[in-house]
Amino acid sequence: MASLKERIAAVKAWVRGKVNYWRVRRLSFDHLLRAIRRYQQQSGDRLAGAVTYFAFLSFFPLLALSYAVLGFVVATSGTTRQALEQAIAERLPGIAGQLNLEAIARARETAGLIGLLGLLYAGLGALDALRQALREMSMAVTPAPSFFAGKLRDLVSIIMIGVTMIVSVLVAGFATTATDKVMHFVFGGGSAVATWVWRAAGVAAAVGADWLLFLILLGWVARPTQPFRVIAKGALIGAIGFGLLKQLATLLLGHTLGNPIYGTFAVIVGLLIWINFSARLVLYVAAWTATAGYCPPPVPSPIPASGAQPDDGPLPGRACDPSHPPEPDARRRPARPPEPSPRPRPSHPPEPGPRRRPGDPASAPDA
């Protein structure tokens, strides 16, 4: 009778065989496993923790600077203010209600100055940590930019992200308001179709804004070598995952903020959890994008920080995605053709005969 240890080994072998079978049969499943393995080998949780620290420090200066920029618009337009508050509530579920937005909006000049100074320190640190984490996930072999070039690029990234978020908030608010008015005019008030279309328009606008944000993170901050369509597909996956994460965070952060154990630290704890989950999602999407169709890894490939041999390539005999053929490695020398074997030389060369002078008759053959 087989022992318990042998049964466990048999179950593991059976599961491993099934996993390998579906990796060969389904390219998407094989890609998902390679992305998870890349995240684990590059210590994605540790990198997400570093991003969370600097992002938490830069959150309040960024929020103050955003309200300083939009302060005049918010003070004159009530619709824009409602759209801004709704966008903050969607991206920070359960936390926006705990923030004193009125006080920040009234102190526009002071908030702008404090936000700008704090953003120069914490914001650039957060972008630098995120850029290094994305390079670790992609195992980039290109040299990192210099100190001043890196800081300048991070500053441009912060401006791009801020402008993207502001424009996305305005576009989302305008899209939902216009859709509500059109549906109310066509179907009338209280229609189920109008309600469904209004919600679908809001979801589509939110996914589009998140897609543009992930496109900046994966395409500009990370400086990848993949084609644009791979980055766009990864940004779409990240936008959909970010939307699902916001729905999940509504329940999780609501429970965290309602827990009396945390007390006055409820906002801080909830914000840390939200930023950490968002950073992990970005790194998972970066790992998925980095392992999209590029298999096996280049040889020699950089060794991960953990010291483990990278093993995110396909199974032996596994064909790569034909739409993403593996790029030739410039460092690998082409195989030389086999050199032709030299002609065999006789061991005893024939002795030369007597020299014949010109005009001498040819020797008669022997009888």
- Listing DSSP states for 5-17 in one string gives HHHHHHHHHHHHH
User: CA nearest 52: which of 272, 285, 281?
Assistant: 272
Please determine, for residue 200, whether its predicted confidence score (pLDDT) is greater than 60.
Answer: yes
User: CA nearest 323: which of 287, 286, 292?
Assistant: 292
User: Which helix (H) or strand (E) element contains residue 187?
Assistant: helix 147-187
Percentages helix, strand, coil for the chain, rounded to the nearest 5? 70, 0, 30
Please determine, for residue 283, whether its predicted confidence score (pLDDT) is greater than 90.
Answer: yes
Exposed (0-12), middle (13-18) or buried (19+): which is 153, by Cβ within 10 Å?
A: middle
What is the average per-residue pLDDT within 178-198? 66
Q: What is the four-CA torsion angle of 251, 253, 258, 262, rounded to 10 degrees? A: 150
Report the residue count for the chain.
367
Distance CA 84, CA 267 (A): 20
Q: Which of 134-143, 252-261, 272-281 has the lowest mean pLDDT?
A: 252-261
CB 108 within 8 A of CB 71: yes
In order of 38, 231, 294, 305, 327, the CA distances from 225 in angstroms are 17, 10, 10, 21, 11
What is the average per-residue pLDDT within 95-119? 65
In order of 176, 184, 190, 199, the CA distances from 196 in angstroms are 12, 12, 11, 5
CB 293 within 8 A of CB 323: yes
**Backbone phi and psi for residue 120, each to the nearest 5 degrees, phi listed first:** -65, -30
Greater pLDDT, 240 or 117: 240
Each residue's pLDDT tens digit, 218-266: 888 887 778 888 899 999 999 999 888 887 777 766 666 666 666 567 7
Greater pLDDT, 115 or 346: 115
Give the CA count within 13 Å in the CB-facing half-sphere of 23: 21
| Banded model confidence at residue 297, pLDDT cuts 50, 70, 90 | very low
Q: Is the dihedral of CA 273, 276, 280, 286 positive or negative?
A: positive
Distance CA 32, CA 284 (A): 10
* Cβ neighbours of residue 53 closer than 8 Å, sequence gap 6 or more: 129
